[in-house]
Chains A and B, each alone.
Chain A
Amino acid sequence: MEYLIHLAILFTVYAMLGVSLNLVVGYTGLLSLTHAAFYGIGSYTTAILLTQSGVDFFPSVVLGIILTLIASFLIGLVLSKFRDDYYALGSFGFNAIAFAVFLNWQNLTRGPLGIPGISKPELFGIDFSNNFNFLMLVLAFLGLVYLASRFIVNSSFGRVLKSIREDEEAIQVFGYNTLYFKLAVFMIGAGMAAIAGSFFASYITFIDPSGFTLMESVFILVIIILGGLANLRGSVLGALFLILLPEILRFVGFPSSVAAQMRQLVYGLILILLMLYRPQGLLGEYKI
């Protein structure tokens, strides 16, 4: 049971990451491979504040979001100049830079040693160090993120995003400044990723830079491509499948010494097969 809750919490964190990235990749058509950077900024903000300054969990989430918004504003400003494959490559670059910062800003992040002993939140006398309570809290936040995302994509703002994806020049002709829209959705997605990061740090209680590499961004991308681009339910489904996948592999009986690599192999194959046979993913409405 404890283990199921553990999986459920991981699933919720990744569903949050998937839903937020889908806003950027699926709805707006910007292939961002830098999501793990924002996830990392959220994680590190919470980790550093909780271990070093005695700030509570929830203020640290807010600060994490603010820092991520600033970072994503600057990164998004640069990335908005690119399109398609150059966009992907540029975002690749920012993830590598963010990773270098996590790894090398040792006074703040302790570099490769990581930050241990991150505490769990407490609110209204409810102690969230109980895993079940924690799960309920994360689920509530996933619900908020999901509803906010659904509101965004169904609003007129969301319709502009979709038309940017379909034909950016056409929507510019109608007088929309697409830069603002692209920047806004990029920042919204990044802020949501920061929330996921704060919860992840608080739950796992230990973070180090290896959790925020480019491979992590690829993993989040696999989630949303598998589930389906421009489909929020798809992202939740994709996260569920990919979190359960290692367990399935274990049942099939792969040796655990190569479990991580085996998982990576499956992610890679999923991407290739999806591109070959179903580029829009399971529930997707849009093909890249």
Chain B
Amino acid sequence: MDILPQLIVNIIIAGAIYALVALGFNLIYGATKFFNLAHGVIAAVGGYAVFYFAKTLGWNVYLAVIIGVLLAGIAGYGLDKFVYLPLRKRKASNMVLLVASLGAFTAIQAVIAILFTSQFKTLSYSVGTQRIFEIFDGVITQTQLIILMSVALITAGLILLLYKTRFGKAVRAMSDDEEVAKIVGINTNRIIGRIFFIGSAIAGLAGILVGFDTGIEPTMGLGLLLKGVIASIIGGVGNIYGGVMGAFLLGFVENFGIWKISGEWKDAIAFALLIVFLLFRPKGIMNK
């Protein structure tokens, strides 16, 4: 059997998940200009919220997913309100914000591990009995199909939000120049709060989808964050299209690397790609 169709399917799915993380990350970076390392653990918050409501309490799955996404958004919003906003008001440097987000990441991950133990859990109800679709010679599960559709939907929705609404206009103005945006009367801190909510909710969705596709564990945030960050940087940080392109490029390089070298080196390959980009094209594919 030819391996290529399945490889392409895998690349698209990996790319789609990285794209979700990168979308939220880029949105937040565009407005605040610092690397929010807590972004990944927010994804884990979403995944574990669904686990708690759907599996432990036995609520309806769809309801649990909605709650999970909202909770992730609220977690991100809360982080901004109680940690990043006070720091911004004090004109703290990006490095201080970065270290604070590193602290938030460490602390939230520990809380999740305390509440839910460190074991690997899956959100899916029907392990092994999932519907499977065949495309050419590749196999794709129902969950993965949902992942692809939600990525397409969210990307489209985000582009509409950014380019067709007043809110989006304000966000773009801030990404260009926060000072000037402030001068023309945009309440930047309120906008940043909302951006944190939206970006974190998207991250939460990513965590939930990963949970249905493979599973969740408290340390899942780090992996997702790193892939999202790498995707954003190689695509062009702060650029929505760039993030998506970077995500698929990362998925491509990773899966090709796995095929040619070996699966264990996946993370190392991803980072090697990042470092190559940082050295030769630090602004990414899209940004000049």
Chain A contact residues, CB within 8 Å of chain B: 31, 78, 81-82, 84-86, 88-90, 92-94, 96-97, 99-101, 103-104, 214-215, 218, 221, 225, 258, 261-265, 267-272, 274-276, 279, 287-288
Contacts and interface: CB of A to CB of B under 8 A. Distances in A.
Interface of B is mostly: helix
Contacts of A90: 274-275, 278
A285 to B, nearest CB: 16
B93 A288 contact: yes
A262 B110 contact: yes
A214 to B, nearest CB: 7
Nearest to B222: A214
The 10 lowest CB-CB distance pairs between A and B, nearest first, are A271-B103, A268-B107, A268-B106, A265-B110, A93-B271, A264-B110, A100-B268, A275-B100, A272-B103, A288-B95
Contacts of B102: 218, 221, 271
A100 B267 contact: yes
A97 B274 CA distance: 11
Contacts of A225: 99
B198 interface: no
B86 interface: yes
A264 B109 contact: yes
8 contacts: A84-B94, A84-B95, A97-B268, A221-B102, A268-B106, A275-B92, A287-B96, A288-B95
Give the most central of B87, B95, B267: most A CB within 10 Å: B95
Contacts, number: 125
Interface in B226-271: 226, 229, 233, 262, 264-265, 267-268, 271
Interface in B107-132: 107-111, 113-114, 118
Given A100-B264, A258-B114, A275 B87 contact: yes
A269 B103 contact: yes
For chain B, give the interface size range.
35 or more
Contacts of A275: 83, 87, 92, 96-97, 99-100, 103
A85 B32 CA distance: 13
Contacts of A214: 222
B95 A94 contact: no
A269 B107 contact: yes
Contacts of A272: 83, 100, 103-104, 107
Contacts of A31: 95, 98-99
A85 B34 contact: yes
B264 A103 contact: yes
B224 to A, nearest CB: 13
B278 A88 contact: no
A268 B104 contact: yes
Main SS of the interface on chain A? helix
B154 interface: no
Contact of B272 (A97, A271, A287): A97
Given A96-B226, A271-B102, A275-B87, A85 B275 contact: no
B215 interface: no
B196 interface: no
A215 B95 CA distance: 18
Nearest to A276: B86
Contact of B103 (A81, A94, A104, A270): A270
Contacts of B92: 275, 279
B147 to A, nearest CB: 24
B279 interface: yes
Given A268-B106, A272-B103, A276-B86, A85 B267 contact: no
Contacts of A84: 94-95
Contacts of A287: 93, 96
B271 A97 contact: yes
Given A271-B99, A288-B93, A96 B113 contact: no
A244 B170 CA distance: 49
B264 A104 contact: yes
B282 interface: yes
A215 B41 CA distance: 14
Contacts of B104: 268, 272
B105 interface: yes
B197 interface: no
B35 interface: yes
Given A97-B271, A268-B106, A272-B107, A86 B278 contact: yes
